[in-house]
């Protein structure tokens, strides 16, 4: 863990009069600042050599209804150079919920601020394009505000609407024309939401000059279902199934991240065997996720056969998850303080058997793709983006590693038992689509290696923490002992109650940094439960990556970004 005291004292020294307060809770360094000084402090955070916070991970807001000032903006930063984190907070009043935009410093703040505007109604001064991002423009109110009732319906569109809603033609902000087009017109084409290639359910509005993309605008939100609002209205443990549906192609990783964030809030650690089981489940999920991404890329390039090989391999990975927890897609496997079940009998043999076949299938698919000049020509040199630009967009995960940035949280901030495991972090050199493809392919094999090691090294012992305030007691004890019965009753009806406070915890999910920011007010329900999902940040640079390229280049680029609708739209 990096030295937070030193970090905080540096920041206090650099801009003393702007800082209201600093604290260090559960290893998270926090700085509370005056809102009018945000831009200035952010610039120091980014440009100071000792701070060097180049990655703006997340922008969100907490609504402290009834307090003055009401809204607290929360920024999370990470430094890829020094590998330290920082949380920046600033309060703005309800009467004037305005703060400076960070887009001039981090281009990736664009969508994050639009989301905050959409959900909380915070206005960002100097934002180039402050539109709603998930909801439609005619939506009234801001749903994540605490005074917006969860049950409220706005039947402007969808079932129950009176047909008064007229969708407007799409507009592209800052669209520009091409010089010397000899009277030809740009053709406005909309890819998605109902389009074979947009499997993440997204709309890409394009202006085409023939086949060349002149302008592009990516519109997300088709799968928005109010993840945060739902989580805030249930107990901590009731949010676990919702996390399944964030990245539904690697659900266990989302479970692990959430449960570990809650455990950080409680300050408990899962027994060693439980940690091993989590790593095993998580890595199998990662295998399934990468297989889907690789297969889908092949499919969209019309290589149908490798796609089916990859999906057959993914079926085998899902069979393992099925053996682990009885479900395939939405596994709901991890629990706060442990996992739902220990490894089943004969799991190691099943793994060995399935991994062997998975590797065969992957080798077949790889051969068909990488040795095919057409596939290479479609991937090589397409949609290159520099590492600096990717970081400015807040991109993490395989996409960033393909550009040569060595940032894998399993290595950078080892959680669970990753520091005891031997695995490689593959890096690309050029950052084109082929590198992205290769990074995922290598990671998949490394994940198999990790699971094999875990199965060898896993110690005996319990998988759950033995804490009646956190984990349900075994059924046998519930039926026979009064105390355990009471504990079960209390846990189910009131939920586990963490101490008041706030934490941010991130894991390396299949697509990059998956972080959860939890605010506890001491009750059984989270006051704020925010998921910083990699797909959201990774999808943002798509428009810039494809601008000036050909229409067909959208397809592999979008696939290598691997936007998962559930995760992006929450």
Partner 1 sequence: MLTVVVVSVIKALIVIGMVLNLAGILGWVERKGSALIQDRIGANRAAIFGFAGAGLVNTLLADPIKFLTKEDVIPRGVDRLLHTLAPCVALFPAIVAFAAVPFGDRLRIGDMVVNLQAVEIDVGVLFLLAMTSLGVYGVVLGGWASNNRLSLLGGIRGSAQMISYELAMGLAVVAVVLTYGSLDFQEIVRRQGHMIGGWIPAWGILYQPLAFLLLLIAGIAETKRAPFDLPEGESEIVSGYFTEYSGIKYLMFFMTDFVEIAVVSAVVTTFFFGGWQVPFLASEGFVFPWGWSVPLPHVVVVLLQVAAYMVKVFIFCCLQVLVRWTMPRLRYDQLMWFGWKVMLPLGLANLVVTALVLLWIQG
Partner 2 sequence: MEQSISVLVTFLLVGTLVAIMVSIGWLLGPRTETPAKGEAFECGNPPSGSAWGRFPVKFYMTAIIFIIFDVEVVFLYPWAVLFDRLGWFGFVEMLIFLTVLGVGLLYVWQKGALEWD
In whole angstroms, how far apart are CA 492 and each of 2, 52, 468, 470, 488?
37, 45, 12, 10, 6
Backbone angles phi, psi at 364, to 5 degrees: -60, -50
169 contact, one of partner 1, partner 2, none, CB 5-8 Å limit per kind: partner 2
Distances (CA, A) of 340 to 331, 335, 383, 498, 506: 10, 6, 42, 20, 21
298 contact, one of partner 2, partner 1, none, CB 5-8 Å limit per kind: partner 1
Subset of 415-454 contacting partner 1 (CB under 8 A): none
Residues forming contacts to partner 2 in the complex (CB under 8 A) are 167, 169-170, 181-185, 187-188, 190-195, 198, 203, 209-212, 549-550
Which among partner 2, partner 1, none contacts residue 554 (Cβ within 5 to 8 A by kind)?
A: partner 1
Which phi and psi angles does 76 have, rounded to 5°?
-115, 130
The answer to whether 551 contacts partner 1 (rule: CB under 8 A) is yes
Q: Give residue 453's Cα distance to chain centre.
A: 27
Longest dimension (CA), the chain: 85
End-to-end CA distance of the chain: 30
Rounded least distance, CB 553 to partner 1, Å: 7
Q: Which stretch binds partner 1 (CB under 8 A): 43-51, 370-378, 389-397, 492-500?
A: 370-378
Placement of tokens 């969508």 in the chain: 111
Asked if 217 interacts with partner 1 (CB under 8 A), we say no
CB-wise, 197 or 451, nearer to partner 1? 197
SS3 for 192?
A: coil
3-state secondary structure 67-128: CCCCEEEEEEEECCCCCCEEEEEEEECCCCCEEECCCCCCCCHHHHHHHHHHHHCCEEECCC
Rank residues 184 and 329 by Cβ distance to partner 2 and give the closer one.
184
Closest approach of partner 1 to the CB of residue 207, in Å: 11
By CB neighbour count within 10 A (0-12 exposed, 13-18 middle, 19+ buried), where does 113 fall?
buried
CB of 334 to partner 2, least distance (A): 36
Check residue 407 for interaction with partner 1 (CB under 8 A). Answer: no
Partner whose footprint covers residue 305, from partner 1, partner 2, none (CB < 5 to 8 Å by kind): partner 1
Q: Which residues pair with 25 in a beta bridge?
A: 28
Our CB check for partner 1 shows the closer of 230 and 315 to be 315
By C-beta, is 117 or 375 nearer to partner 1? 375
Q: Which stretch binds partner 1 (CB under 8 A): 163-171, 187-195, 334-342, 496-504?
A: 187-195
Q: Mapping DSSP to helix (H, G, I), strand (E, B) and coil, where does residue 290 land?
A: helix
* Alpha carbons 565 and 548: distance in angstroms, whole number: 25
Question: What residues contact 40, with CB distance under 8 A and at least 6 apart?
Answer: 15, 18
**Least CB distance to partner 1 at residue 197 (A):** 4
Q: Which is nearer to partner 2, 172 or 341 (CB)?
A: 172
Cβ proximity of 64 and 8 under 8 Å: no
Query: Is the Cβ–Cβ distance between 214 and 208 less than 8 Å?
Result: yes
Structural tokens at position 529: 């439960």
Which phi-psi region, left, alpha or beta, contains residue 297 (left: φ > 0; alpha: ψ -120 to 50)? alpha
Cβ closest to partner 1, residue 291 vs residue 407: 291
10 vs 184, beta carbon nearer partner 2: 184
Decide: is 550 part of the binding site for partner 1 (CB under 8 A). Answer: yes
Determine if 187 is a binding residue for partner 1 (CB under 8 A).
Answer: yes
Nearer to partner 1, 308 or 478 (CB): 308
- In the complex, least distance from residue 437 CB atom to partner 2, rounded to whole angstroms: 21
Residue 243's H or E segment, with its range, is helix 240-244
* Residue 66 contact, options partner 2, partner 1, none, Cβ 5-8 Å cut-off depending on partner type: none
- Show the site string, 128-167: x = touches partner 1 by CB under 8 A, - = not: ----------------------------------------
- Residue 193 binding result from partner 2, partner 1, none, given CB thresholds of 5 to 8 Å by partner type: partner 2
Which of partner 2, partner 1, none does residue 303 bind to, with CB < 5 to 8 Å depending on kind? partner 1
- Residue of the chain from 3, 305, 352, 429 that contacts partner 1 (CB under 8 A): 305
Q: How far is CA 419 from CA 86, 111, 177, 446, in A?
A: 23, 34, 53, 15
The correct pick among 154, 238, 372, 523 for binding partner 1 (CB under 8 A) is 372
Near partner 1 by CB under 8 A, which window of 257-265, 321-329, 509-517, 548-556? Answer: 548-556
Please, which residue, 192 or 501, has the CB nearer to partner 1? 192
Q: Quick check: 252 binds partner 1 (CB under 8 A)?
A: no
Residue 318 CB, shortest distance to partner 2, in Å, is 29
* Cα–Cα nearest to 296, from 315, 312, 311: 311
Binding partner of 375, given partner 2, partner 1, none, CB within 5-8 angstroms per partner class: partner 1
140: closest CA among 125, 155, 124, 158? 155
Q: How far apart are CA 111 and CA 133, in angstroms?
A: 7
Other CB atoms within a 10 A radius of the CB of residue 522 amount to 10
362 contacts partner 1 (rule: CB under 8 A) = no
Q: Decide which of partner 1, partner 2, none touches 552; Cβ closer than 5 to 8 Å per partner kind.
A: partner 1
Are residues 298 and 369 in contact, defined by beta-carbon separation less than 8 angstroms? Answer: yes
Which residue in the set 298, 339, 518, 519 belongs to the binding site for partner 1 (CB under 8 A)? Answer: 298
Between residues 172 and 551, which has the closer beta carbon with respect to partner 1? 551
- Which of partner 1, partner 2, none sits in contact with 185, Cβ below 5 to 8 A by type? partner 2
Dihedral Cα 206, 209, 210, 215, nearest 10 deg: -20
Select from partner 1, partner 2, none the partner in contact with residue 430, using the beta carbon and a kind-dependent cut-off of 5 to 8 Å: none
Under rule CB under 8 A, residue 209 binds partner 1: no
Interface positions with partner 1 (CB under 8 A): 187-189, 195-197, 208, 211, 298-305, 308-309, 312, 368-369, 372, 374-375, 377-378, 550-555
């Amino acid at each position: 863990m990096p030295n937070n005291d030193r970090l905080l004292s540096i920041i206090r020294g650099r801009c003393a009069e702007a800082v209201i307060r600093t604290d260090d809770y559960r290893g998270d360094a926090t700085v509370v600042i005056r809102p009018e000084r945000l831009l200035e402090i952010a610039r120091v955070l980014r440009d100071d050599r000792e701070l060097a916070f180049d990655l703006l991970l997340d922008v969100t807001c907490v609504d402290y209804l009834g307090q003055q000032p009401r809204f607290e903006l929360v920024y999370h930063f990470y430094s890829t150079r020094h590998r330290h984190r920082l949380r920046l907070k600033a309060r703005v009043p309800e009467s004037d919920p305005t703060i400076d935009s960070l887009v001039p410093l981090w281009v990736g703040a664009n969508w994050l601020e639009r989301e905050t505007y959409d959900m909380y109604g915070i206005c960002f001064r100097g934002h180039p394009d402050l539109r709603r991002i998930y909801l439609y423009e005619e939506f009234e109110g801001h749903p994540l505000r605490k005074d917006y009732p969860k049950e409220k319906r706005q039947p402007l569109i969808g079932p129950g609407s009176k047909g008064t809603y007229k969708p407007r033609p799409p507009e592209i902000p800052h669209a520009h024309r091409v010089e010397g087009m000899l009277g030809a017109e740009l053709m406005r084409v909309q890819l998605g939401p109902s389009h074979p290639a947009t499997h993440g359910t997204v709309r890409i509005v394009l202006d085409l000059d023939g086949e060349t993309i002149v302008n592009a605008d990516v519109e997300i939100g088709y799968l928005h279902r109010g993840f945060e609002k739902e989580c805030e209205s249930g107990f901590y443990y009731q949010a676990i199934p919702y996390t399944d549906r964030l990245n539904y192609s690697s659900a266990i990783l989302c479970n692990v991240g959430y449960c570990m964030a809650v455990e950080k809030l409680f300050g408990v650690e899962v027994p060693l065997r439980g940690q091993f089981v989590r790593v095993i489940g998580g890595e199998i999920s990662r295998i399934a996720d990468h297989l889907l991404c690789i297969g889908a890329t092949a499919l969209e390039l019309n290589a149908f056969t490798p796609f089916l090989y990859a999906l057959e391999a993914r079926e085998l990975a899902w069979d393992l998850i099925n053996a682990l927890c009885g479900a395939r897609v939405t596994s709901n496997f991890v629990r706060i303080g442990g996992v739902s079940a220990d490894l089943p009998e004969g799991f190691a043999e099943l793994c060995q058997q399935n991994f062997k076949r998975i590797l065969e299938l992957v080798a077949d698919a790889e051969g068909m793709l990488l040795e095919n000049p057409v596939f290479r020509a479609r991937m090589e040199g397409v949609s290159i983006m520099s590492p600096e630009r990717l970081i400015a967009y807040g991109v993490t995960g395989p996409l960033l590693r393909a550009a040569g940035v060595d940032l894998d949280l399993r290595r950078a901030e080892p959680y669970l038992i990753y520091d005891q495991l031997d695995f490689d972090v593959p890096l690309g050199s050029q950052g084109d689509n082929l590198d992205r493809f290769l990074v995922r392919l290598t990671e998949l094999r490394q994940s198999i290696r990790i699971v094999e090691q875990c199965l060898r090294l896993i110690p005996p012992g319990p998988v759950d923490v033995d804490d009646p305030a956190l984990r349900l007691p075994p059924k046998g004890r519930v039926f026979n002992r009064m105390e355990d019965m009471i504990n079960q009753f209390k846990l189910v009806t009131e939920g586990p109650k963490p101490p008041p406070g706030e934490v941010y915890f991130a894991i390396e999910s299949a697509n990059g940094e998956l972080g959860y920011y939890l605010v506890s007010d001491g009750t059984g329900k989270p006051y704020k439960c925010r998921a910083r999902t990699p797909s959201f940040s990774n999808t943002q640079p798509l428009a810039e990556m494809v601008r000036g390229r050909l229409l067909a280049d959208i397809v592999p680029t979008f696939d290598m970004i691997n936007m998962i609708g559930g995760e992006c739209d929450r």
